Amino acid sequence: MKLREIAHSRTGDKGNISNVSLIVYNAKDYELIKEKVTADKVKEWFKDIVHGEVIRYELPNLKAFNFVMDNALGGGVTRSLSLDMHGKSLSSALLEMEI
């Protein structure tokens, strides 16, 4: 199944760092995502975009995860030639991941 079937996502940015949240629709799916969507898997998923470290923060009370991806925005908003300088589409891209 794709992540979009059991979760939604939001994206933020600061400089060359992208911050992607993953929030489950149903609390029962939190443990499944915790097991299947690791920082290493997210880094591999975004291997062509993210050139730095990926850190996963767990937010069990919110049934959510936050992935902080360093060196992910082509230098940052003021330096990137990307059409999506803020990386807002990364949340949709993450939801395409199969688990």
Name the token pair of 18. 């992208």
- Going by pLDDT thresholds of 50, 70 and 90, the confidence category of residue 81 is very low
Query: For the segment 13-56, what is each residue's pLDDT rounded down to a tens digit?
Result: 787 888 999 999 999 999 999 999 999 999 999 999 899 999 99
Domains of the chain: 3-75+85-95 (3.30.70)
Beta strand ranges found along the chain (DSSP E): 7-14, 17-24, 54-59, 64-69
pLDDT band at 12 (very low <50, low <70, confident <90, very high): confident
**Which tokens belong to 46?**
């975004």
Residue 75 pLDDT > 70, yes or no? no
Contact predicate 7/29, CB 8 Å? yes
pLDDT number for residue 72: 84
Q: Is the pLDDT of residue 62 over 90?
A: yes
Report which of residues 40 and 90 the model is more confident about.
Answer: 40
Q: What is the mean pLDDT of residues 77-92?
A: 57
User: What is the predicted pLDDT for the residue at 79?
Assistant: 47
